[in-house]
A = this chain, B = another copy of it.
């Protein structure tokens, strides 16, 4: 089969012919219907220290996808050949303290598809049954491919209250955009969207029609938000950018007793004014990573079923798997929403 392989410990990747993987007794084999490009894939391509520390070439990468089940291991319950599934990227070990207390998504011995084991930028992929989310068979496979990143936003949003709250979102890439749509649908009273890319900022109104748009390259985001809230600040501040300056602003604009959720991953330590912005305010801060298995997925399903939000407009580009390099370059540019690849 065709697959995008990180062949060597160096920048780049190659579309190659490889063997179709053989599923184990608790795995399924899927025919990949649609895969999406994530920031992690850019890192794997570029080969910075972050990638060098995690990836052991040669391996197939890519992890966001939907697929049709074509084989099931003999210990697999509840999934059948012909099912359409979306893939949860995190493989929990199922035996650690976290896994045994309902928090598989922060498993102490987590493996990640497309990072620690072969991924989904391929015609077929072997997926542990425990990482499959069944979709109605008539679901658009493109939707299935973007549930995983949407779930990153939903997990962070739902660390606390959002209905009837003022919410500031820092970072409006694909995850931020889908997050904004969810926050809007769940009844936030006022939304601020902060993003330096004008292209991305211009997409916000499709997701949160009444959001106040702020380009931090032009305006002081913290000042704009504090002014618009009479100096009090927002109830909820969510960083999806990982940018240290944005994270600092997220803490500056949260009100007393407000909530900060951190989703974006800063690539370096961040310096925070804890006395004024956390302690005197009695702020509550929540780290958020991945998606709860399966609470977050049910939340997405509920939201879609309610008809209140459709994440599909986040997809701006679609191309064959063979054009993966072009897709990754486009993703790097910041001038795209979600980009889908079709094997």
Chain B residues, Cβ within 8 Å of A271:
269-272
User: B279 to A262, Cβ gap below 8 A?
Assistant: yes
Question: Looking at the complex, which one of B103, B165, B263 makes contact with A257 (CB distance below 8 Å)?
Answer: B103
CB distance from A319 to the nearest CB of B (A): 31
- Render A278-296 as a binary contact track against B, CB cut-off 8 A, 1 for contact: 1111111111110011110
User: A164 to B186, Cβ gap below 8 A?
Assistant: yes
Chain B residues, Cβ within 8 Å of A262:
274, 278-279
Q: Is the interface of A mostly helix, strand, loop or mixed?
A: loop
Nearest to A25 among chain B residues (CB) is B75
Q: How many copies does the complex hold?
A: 4
Chain B residues, Cβ within 8 Å of A282:
103, 106, 286-289
User: B293 to A100, Cβ gap below 8 A?
Assistant: yes
Chain B residues, Cβ within 8 Å of A166:
302
**CB proximity to B under 8 Å, residues A247-281:** 247, 256-257, 262-263, 265-267, 269-275, 278-281
CB distance from A110 to the nearest CB of B (A): 9
Query: Interface size bucket, A side?
Result: 35 or more
Given A103-B257, A257-B106: A278 touches B285 (CB 8 Å cut-off)? yes
Bound Cα distance A252, B106 (Å)? 16
Given A95-B77, A274-B247, A285-B284: A302 touches B100 (CB 8 Å cut-off)? no
- Render A89-105 as a binary contact track against B, CB cut-off 8 A, 1 for contact: 00000110110111100
User: A94 to B106, Cβ gap below 8 A?
Assistant: no
User: B163 to A280, Cβ gap below 8 A?
Assistant: no
Bound Cα distance A269, B252 (Å)? 13
Ranked 7 nearest A-B pairs via Cβ:
A102-B102, A189-B306, A285-B285, A186-B187, A163-B186, A278-B287, A187-B187
| 16 contacts across the A-B interface (CB closer than 8 A) | A77-B95, A97-B298, A101-B102, A101-B292, A102-B103, A106-B256, A163-B163, A186-B186, A187-B308, A190-B305, A242-B275, A266-B274, A270-B274, A271-B271, A278-B285, A283-B286
Interface residues of chain A, those whose CB is within 8 Å of chain B, are 25-26, 75, 77-78, 94-95, 97-98, 100-103, 106, 108, 162-166, 185-190, 232, 242, 247, 256-257, 262-263, 265-267, 269-275, 278-289, 292-295, 298-299, 302-303, 305-306, 308
